[in-house]
Every structure is written in C-alpha cells, then in structure tokens.
Amino acid sequence: KLSQGAKPGHGGVLPGAKVTKEISEARRVPQGVECISPPGHSAFSSPIGLLEFVAQ
C-alpha cells in the first residue's frame, strides 16, 4: 500500500488548532500554525525509486 486517503500523492494539511507542542517539536514547525504534510515516502524519492521499491 503506497498511499491512503481521498487524494493519494498530495500530502495533507493539519489545521493550526491541531498543531500541539508535541507535533510542533516533532515536525519542527511553529505551534498553532497550519502544517503541510508532504506526500513523501521513506523508501524512495523518485519515480524510478518507486518502481524499484515495487519490484522488491
């Protein structure tokens, strides 16, 4: 499974009201400010990397 949700590959938005102290420290963003989550994956960072990942 590579993605989950209504818009796979687009990341997500965490509203500022949900960016707690713990989240702000973990993501290194200001507390209380909207946070954009990139559509990244730790196993690959390019289309070729995706194909190699799937081939495994």
One digit per residue, the tens of pLDDT, for the chain of length 56 reads 566 665 555 568 889 999 999 999 988 899 999 998 776 777 888 889 989 999 98
User: 34 near 14, Cβ under 8 Å?
Assistant: yes
At 49 the three-state DSSP class reads helix
Give the Cα separation of 38 and 13 in Å (integer): 9
pLDDT of residue 44: 84
pLDDT of residue 9: 54
pLDDT of residue 7: 59
